[in-house]
Structure 1
Amino acid sequence: MENDVLRNIALSYSPMIDRNRAVVATRLTVSALRTGGPLQADQLLAAIAEVWPEGGTRVSLNVMSETLLNDLLRAKPLSNVMIEIPSFIACDPVNTDAILQLQGNTLLLHGRPPSMLPRELLPRFKYSIVDLADDRRRNEVAGQAEAAGVTRSVGFVQSGVRTTAEMEASFGRGAVAILGWPIEDVVSQSGGRAGQPDMAVLVELIRRVDDAEDVDKLDAVLKRDPTLAFQLLRYINSPAFGLSVEISSFRHAIMLLGYKRLKRWLALLLATASKDVNMRPVMFASVRRGLFMEQLVANSGDEEMRGEVFICGVFSLLDRLFNKPFDELLKTIPVPERVYQALVESAGPYHPYLELTKAVETETAPVINEYAETLLMSLLEVNRAVLGTLTMAAQLE
């Protein structure tokens, strides 16, 4: 039976990143865009359970529809589903019993309460979500709250963080995690470490694979960095790749996959090769961009197109990783013409797919809908691509 809720909502995702720069959960934002019949929480939970089964990794649900959220509070989410509850709903006595019944789930209080939170509810919230723009801690001198005798029994997760500098400042104020993609200033913060040996090896490998050089020459290049060889084989043997046999060597990979399919996994490695911990959100985004763009064309594109949009998504943040503009960067890294058009000229057939991908990361539901219509795609198709992407990404980690 078709999941009707996916026809009328826009799904978007972002990471929840702890102070070690590890992604500890995925935030899934659910925006109601079309009004047909009432949105069913059980259908939403069924779709989520396919990606995050019980006992698996954690997901935080940010439901933008008050009706759907009220229905969700009275459903039975799996224990690994965290629920964000807006403060105005938490403060309404009508919802107190329903919130108390969610014993197996982690609850997050979203926003500053407009009135006093019912006393019995306070222990139910493990964290509060505080937007950076509303964070009063920013104006406090270090230790000022403690000196004044102010105690905060609920830890906080910072939202609205867009730069590495903001991320580091949030952790300095005691945030247990941040929500979002802190990638806007990552180049200046990282120092543009494009000269790492593993990246140089990968760029050379991609050029040689593009030229279809002899297997022995390619193998000799890869042996200069054994860690990369291990990572490559780990990716190729992951469930996301769907192979029925285990690949045991780089030579075996070339023989079984061929040069074109191998190139996409080298592209993925290039986008995730940085050792800088502050680059992890960039690498996290790169993988999901490639997988999402490939999912978007899964039913309409041929194998060549699927491979090219994957590389387009994975490479779409290389300018940050290498601290170079795309027109300069892609002189050394060969890419198909349609990928070049999207990354350098913001044009061509792949550009709308890339813009839709960015909209899904920034939780801008109207823009998601706009680009879906431009690509003649339904919300159901886009939402399936989102959930498929997150499933495959989890298999790669």
Structure 2
Amino acid sequence: MDQDVLRNIALSYSPMVDRQRSFAATRLTVSALRSGQPLQADQLLAAISEVWPHAGTRVSLNVMSETLLNDLLRAKPVSNVMIEIPSFIACDPQNTAAIQELHSNGNTLLLHGRPTMLLPRELLSCFKYSIIDLAEDRRKNETTGPGEPGVTRSVGFIQSGVRTVAEMENSFGRGAVAILGWPIDDVTADSGVKKGAPDMGVLVELIRRVDDGDDVDKLEAVLKRDPTLAFQLMRYINSPAFGLSVEISSFRHAIMLLGYKRLKRWLALLLATASKDPNLRPVMYASVRRGIFMEQMVAPAGDDEMRGEVFICGVFSLLDKLFHRPFDDLLKTIPVPERVYQALAEGVGPYSPYLELARAVESETAPVINELAEQLLVGLAEVNRAVLATLTLASQLE
């Protein structure tokens, strides 16, 4: 992937989550950080096509550069690429023909922001959804459900700016097809891990036994106490992202092929994704992406041990919220390497900057991404490649 555009932009991502708490799409925000540098839409689309090929899952492009966006409107993205078009660009008659052509190409178009002037009539049918920030939503205090009187909209809407579970529920109640982002702090504050406690207990015991080097029979006996977990483990191990060419048919077979280090890695992943609360599903997705992103960032220079440790660091980075316990207390019951403990419990050590960067690419804070990349002595292109690789690998696990 040699696209020059990756050297001059910062990519960040956030989920577009539907009312079933599933990923409807990934929102990829593209921020220009190198003024005066040419940004070409065809290079951006080439990079994106490696993650979201034709007929693949959907991505919504939020392009923060007006020049790049105008170029993108006149390019030919594959049909599963959704494009967010700011209302001021949609209202400009010079863009009408380009928008109509994108629509005829099969691209889903999202109108971003409330228009300050009338949208050209011929474009009304081109936009499938509008993106409405909660702070600007004139109907946010209405409590009627979708399809009931008083909530009529000409197009469906996606809500942004949601910060709490109550706001999320109200948005879905007013007919939102999805929300952008996820109120992680509020969701985890209301949930806890009681619903997933049995799974958590088995996983913690397994991690301990793997850490102690117990034999396969003992590990298998523990896993058999929870068939659901056994199924999840086999599903993950057999996924394309795991990179094994041999079909794994049993837990014993998995241990023989993987070894204890890789097994512990995937037990850690399951520990972060074991809760049955649907509101926590996007939180689990975030944990997985953090682990993969951090591993991708150290992959060029790190050894196997370092890659494994930063993966666990990212996957575990939300456990304090899920368990409602501080890391220094929580990690007394879950064995982790010292460098992982430093990053999670103390916010120091060699892995801490990578964790901060992982958080930054989730929050669309392009200047922070640039600053953290400079601190790590890596270029934006390396960070962007890690973002795209993360989204590729994560999609293979879902």
Fold equivalence (TM over 0.5): yes
Supply the AA of the counterpart residue of 2:138: R
Equivalent residues in 2 for 1:161-172, closer than 5 Å = 161-172=162-173
What does residue 17 of structure 1 align with?
17
Q: How much has 1:3 moved relative to structure 2?
A: 0.5
Q: Could you say which residue in structure 2 is the equivalent of 1:26?
A: 26
Whole-angstrom distance in 2 between the partners of 1:29 and 1:72: 14
**Shift in Å, 1:141:** 5.2
Looking at structure 2, the residues matched to 167 and 139 of structure 1 have their Cα atoms a distance apart, in angstroms, of 13
Local SS of the residue matching 2:312: helix
Aligned to 1:47: 47
SS at match of 1:196: helix
Amino acid at match of 1:242: G
* Contact 1:194/1:321 (<8 A) preserved: no
Q: Structure 1 residues 122 and 323 mapped into 2: Cα distance closer, same or farther (>3 Å)?
A: same
Aligned twin of 2:276: 275
Q: What is aligned with 2:80?
A: 80
Contact kept in structure 2, 1:8 and 1:36, CA below 8 Å: no
Which residue of structure 2 lines up, in the alignment, with residue 90 of structure 1?
A: 90
Deviations 1:52-109 (A, max 9, x none): 0001100000000000000000000100000000001001111111101111100000
Instruction: Confirm or deny that 1:183 pairs with 2:184.
Output: yes
State, as a whole percentage, how many aligned pairs show the same letter: 81
Rounded to whole Å, the distance in 1 between the matches of 2:23 and 2:131 is: 17
- Which shows bigger deviation, 252-261 or 369-378? 252-261
- Please point out which of 120, 128, 135 is paired with 1:126: 128
1:251 is matched by which residue type in structure 2? Answer: R
Structure 2 counterpart of 1:116: 118
Q: What is the TM-score with the length of structure 1 in the denominator?
A: 0.97
**Aligned-partner Cα distance in 2 for 1:95–1:82:** 17
* Kept after mapping to 2: 8 A contact 1:6/1:383: yes
Alignment of 1:144-293 (within 5 A): 147=149, 151-193=152-194, 196-293=197-294
Gaps of 5+ in 1: none
Query: Secondary structure at the residue paired with 1:231?
Result: helix
Question: So what's the TM-score if we normalise by structure 2?
Answer: 0.96
Amino acid at match of 1:95: N
Cα distance 1:145–1:233, how it changes in 2: closer, same or farther (>3 A)? closer
User: Which ranges in structure 2 are unaligned for 5 or more consecutive residues?
Assistant: none
Cα distance in structure 2, aligned partners of 1:373 and 1:232 = 37
Q: Where does residue 347 of structure 1 map in the other structure?
A: 348
Mapped partners of 1:181, 1:144: distance in 2: 21
The CA deviation at 1:187 is 2.5
Matched residues in 2 for 1:39 and 1:28: separation? Answer: 16
Q: RMSD over aligned Cα, in angstroms?
A: 1.6
| Partner amino acid, structure 2, of 1:72 | L
Aligned residues: 396
For 1:328 and 1:314, locate their aligned partners in 2 and report how far apart those are by CA, in whole Å: 17
Q: Distance in 2 between matches of 1:213 and 1:236?
A: 20
Contact 1:182 1:281 in 2 (8 A): no
